[in-house]
Structure 1
Amino acid sequence: MNEFEDLLNSVSEVTPGDVVTAEVLTVDAGQANVAIAGTGVEGVLTLRELTNDRDADINDLVKVGETLELLVLRQVVGKDTDTVTYLVSKKRLEARKAWDKLVGREGEVVNVKVTRAVKGGLSVEFEGLRGFIPASMIDSRFTRNTERFVGQEFDAKIKEVDPAENRFILSRREVVEEAAAAARAEVFGKLAVGEVVTGKVARITSFGAFIDLGGVDGLVHLTELSHERNVSPKSAVTVGEEVEVKVLAIDEEEGRVSLSLKATQPGPWDGVEQKLAAGDVIEGKVKRLTDFGAFVEVLPGIDGLVHISQISHKRVENPKDALSVGQDVTVKVLEVNAADERVSLSIKALEERPAPAEGEEKAEKRAPRPRRQKREEKRDYELPETQSGFSMADLFGDIEL
C-alpha cells in the first residue's frame, strides 16, 4: 500500500495550458497518441496541431518512440467510456515560444515564408507563428498579383507585435527599399556621363524604356532608342533584353539617369559618302512636307530635302500641290554634307525644261528695261533745286480746276 500511495503521489495532474513532455505511442489515421510523462494519462496530437500545412503527411513529422514537448489544450472525455485524454499541440507551443521571442523586436528583420495570399496582403509564417504583410507593404510598387509570392521565403521587417491581440505585422517593402537605396548609392558612385554601360530592360512605356543598371533604373527616351524616326519602344527593345547604353546625364539627388541606346549603335550618317554622292539618281519616299519643300527618305534614317524651287520647272506655290506623304519619287542628289547631316535633292533636274509658251518670248523682248524706266520716272517727278521764283500757279497752271 505504501508503494501504491507513493506512485499516486508521483503522478501530477494535467491542466490546460501546461507544457508537458510526451512519448509518441502510435501514429494512425492522421493523428498521434502520446503518453504524457509523469501523469499516467494519454494525449492526442492531430495533424492540425502539428503544422499549418494541411497537405503534409503526419508520418513524415512524428515517429513512434519520439519524445515531444507539447502544450496541453483541453481535456477530452470519451463518449462510450469514461476514458480521459487530453488534446495537445506542438504547433501552438512553438507559436507561444515565437511570441516570447518577438516581444520588443519591432524594427528587426527576420526571414519569413509566405503560406498563402489573403484579402489585403500575404499570410506568412515565422517559427510557427502566423504573421501578416499588408498589400501596401509587399513591394516598393503596389502589387496586384500577390499569388506569385506564395511559397517564397524572404526577409521582412517587424512592424508590430501584440501577443494579446495575436497581432504580428511585417513589411517587406522597407527591406526592399533599403536594399535598393544601398544598391543605388553604389551604382551612382560608379556611373559617369559619357561612359557605355550594360543593363537589362526592366519595363517599357509609351515614352521610352527603363533600363536596370543593377540598382538604378535609367530612362532611354524614345528619341534615344533608334536613329530612325517615330520608332515604337516595343519594336526597339523587349523586357529582359540585355543592352549597352551610353550615359547622357546623372541626377543623383532626384535618382534619375538619362541613357541613349542609339548612341552605342552606328548612325545612318556614318560612311554616307560611300553610299551617296552628288549626281546620283535614286528612288525615295516622301516622308513629310513643309512650306519650303519636301523631305524624301533616300537611305534608312536619312532624309534629303527637295527645296520648293527644285520640285518642278513650273511655279509651285505649296509642296502639297505637287507631292504627297508616302509618294515614291525619283530624285537627283545635288549635294551630300555628312558633317551637317544634310542632303540636297532635286526632282526637276530629272525633267526636261518645258518650251516657252507661244508669245512669251516676244513679250519678254518688248518689255522695257527696268533701269531706264526708273530714270524716266525720276525725271518726271524731279523738282527744281530751289523753290524761289515760282508759285503754285507755275506748277499747276495747265490744270483746269
Structure 2
Amino acid sequence: MSEEMKEMTNVVTLNKGDIVKGRITKIEDSQALVDVGYKYDGVIPIGELSALRVENVADVVSVGDEVEVKVLRINDEEGKLILSKKAADAAKAWNVLEQRLQSGEVFEVKVADVVKGGLVADVGVRAFIPASQVERHFVEDFSDYKGRTLRVKVTELDRSDNKVILSQKAVLDEEFEQKKQNLLHSLQPGEIREGTVRRITDFGVFIDLGGIDGLAHISELAWHRVETPAEVVREGDLVKVKVLKVDPARGRISLSIKEAQPGPWAGIGQKFSPGQVVTGTVKRLVPFGAFVELQPGVEGLVHISQIANRHVATPEEVLEVGQEVKVKVLEVNEQEKRISLSIRSAEADARRRETDLFAEKQQTHGTGVTLGEMFGDLFKKK
C-alpha cells in the first residue's frame, strides 16, 4: 500500500459539534493552526481561543501545545476546518463548575483583567469576581490585582445566561472563622499574649491577637485613671495583654493591658520610705481625710488629724481636689497597698529647716532681728 493510501486510511472523520484533541502546528497574527488528524489542519480564529478578549494568539497557545477543540464548520471544497478552543473549554468547564458549586471546593484562578465593579478570570468560561467579594476589607483600587492568583469558590452559576460568579472573600471568611474558633478555644484566662491595637473607641481598645480581636476596656488600659484611650495607646501599637475572660459562644474576649504590666505598687517601698517628704496631688476628699496621689495609680492617705497644725472639722476647710501639696511619708505597706502621709509634719519640717537656716546665718553674719520677730506668728497656738 502506498504512503498516500496509508495516510488517507488514517484520516479521522469529523462532524460539526465534535470535540477532538489536536496539536498546535503554527501561530499566525489572528489564528492558530491545529492538527486534529484530519485531511488538513484546522484553524482556531483568535476570537475562539478564550472566553476572554485575546490581543495576541501567542498569549494563549504555543506551537506544540495539545488542545481540545470543538468543530464549528467543515468545508472540504474550500479546505476549511474552523475550530473553537473556547467552546471546547466551556463544555468541560460547566460540568466542573457545577461540581465545585455543590462541593464548595476552593480552587485557584488567575486574574485576567480588572473591569468596572470587579475582576475577571478565565475558568473555561468568563468568570466574574465582584469587588465586594475580593477581600474581607474594602479595596479602593484594584489596578494591581491583574495577574494575581486568587483562591476562590463558586458562589453562583447560570448556564443559560453564561454567568459565573466567584468569591475569594467567602474563602477568607471561612478561614477566618475557623482560625477564630481555634483561637477562642485555645485562650485561657490569666495567660499573657501579644497583640496589635486595631481600633480605638471611647470605651476601650480592640486588640488583634492573631485573627480575632479582644476588647481592653478603658478601665483596663492603665493603673491610673484614663480619660481617653488615645492617652495610652495608638493604632498599630504592639502590646502585651492579660486574658481576663473568654466567651467562645459569643466570640468575645476581655483583655487587660494594665494586668500584663507590673502594678504601680510593685517596689513602692524602694521609692518611698518613712521620713521622706514628697510632692503629691490631692485626688479625693473624704470625711476622715484626703487621698494624695504620689505617682499614677499610687495614693496615700492623709488622716484628718495630719492635715494641719490645728483642729480641722472637714478636709475641705484646708484642701481642694487637684491641689498640689507637700507630704511626709509616715508608713509604707506595699503588701496591703497602703501609705500613710502627713501634711502637718511636712510643714513642721519645712519650718524647722527655715529656723535652722536662719540661726546659721545669724551665727555667720549677725543681724538685729530675733527669731521671735521672724517667726512669731508661726509659733502662736491657735
TM-score, normalised to structure 2, is 0.67
Partner amino acid for 1:351? E
By how many angstroms is 1:43 displaced? 1.9
1:205 to 1:54, Cα distance in 2 relative to 1, 3 A: farther
Pick the aligned partner of 1:218 from 214, 220, 224. 214
Indicate the residue corresponding to 2:68 in structure 1: 69
Counterpart-to-counterpart distance in 2, 1:69 and 1:334: 94
Pick the aligned partner of 2:165 from 164, 169, 174. 169
By how many angstroms is 1:248 displaced? 1.5
Contact 2:264 2:296 in 1 (8 A): yes
Would you say 1:102 and 2:97 are equivalent positions? Answer: yes
Matches within 5 A, 1:42-61: 42-46=42-46, 49-50=49-50, 52=52, 58-59=57-58, 61=60
What secondary structure does 1:227 align onto? coil
Indicate the residue corresponding to 2:263 in structure 1: 267
Partner amino acid for 1:43? V
Contact 1:22 1:69 in 2 (8 A): yes
Contact 2:185 2:248 in 1 (8 A): no
Contact 2:246 2:253 in 1 (8 A): yes
What secondary structure does 1:351 align onto? helix
Counterpart-to-counterpart distance in 2, 1:137 and 1:261: 35
By how many angstroms is 1:187 displaced? 3.3
Partner amino acid for 1:128? G
By how many angstroms is 1:303 displaced? 3.2
Larger Rg: 1
Partner amino acid for 2:165? I
Would you say 1:331 and 2:327 are equivalent positions? Answer: yes
By how many angstroms is 1:270 displaced? 0.9
What secondary structure does 2:264 align onto? coil
By how many angstroms is 1:87 displaced? 6.2
Counterpart-to-counterpart distance in 2, 1:303 and 1:267: 13
What secondary structure does 2:215 align onto? strand
1:167 to 1:322, Cα distance in 2 relative to 1, 3 A: same
1:146 to 1:164, Cα distance in 2 relative to 1, 3 A: farther
Counterpart-to-counterpart distance in 2, 1:324 and 1:65: 89
Matches within 5 A, 1:10-49: 15=16, 18-29=18-29, 32-34=32-34, 37-38=37-38, 40=40, 42-46=42-46, 49=49
Q: Report which stretch shifted further, 169-178 or 46-55.
A: 46-55
Contact 2:22 2:34 in 1 (8 A): yes
Contact 1:201 1:238 in 2 (8 A): no
Q: Deviations over 1:351-394 (max 9, x none)?
A: 36984999x98xxxxxxxxxxxxxxxxxxxxxxxxxxxxxxxxx
Structure 1 unaligned blocks of 5 or more: 77-81, 362-401
TM-score, normalised to structure 1, is 0.65
Q: Deviations over 1:21-58 (max 9, x none)?
A: 55534335475444664253652443883585868x75
By how many angstroms is 1:273 displaced? 1.4
Q: Deviations over 1:336-359 (max 9, x none)?
A: 34344343434343336984999x
Contact 1:27 1:33 in 2 (8 A): yes
Pick the aligned partner of 2:251 from 252, 255, 260. 255
Partner amino acid for 1:26? K
Contact 1:114 1:149 in 2 (8 A): no
Indicate the residue corresponding to 1:204 in structure 2: 199
- Aligned residue pair count: 344
Pick the aligned partner of 1:179 from 163, 175, 179. 175
Indicate the residue corresponding to 2:369 in structure 1: none
By how many angstroms is 1:271 displaced? 1.6
Contact 1:283 1:329 in 2 (8 A): yes
Matches within 5 A, 1:339-354: 339-351=335-347
Q: Report which stretch shifted further, 180-189 or 94-103.
A: 180-189
By how many angstroms is 1:99 displaced? 0.9
RMSD: 4.6
Structure 2 unaligned blocks of 5 or more: 352-375
Partner amino acid for 1:94? D
Contact 1:72 1:87 in 2 (8 A): yes
Q: Deviations over 1:219-255 (max 9, x none)?
A: 2223223324317545655666655432212222212
% identity of equivalent residues: 36
Q: Report which stretch shifted further, 348-357 or 253-262.
A: 348-357
Contact 1:22 1:35 in 2 (8 A): yes
Counterpart-to-counterpart distance in 1, 2:53 and 2:316: 76
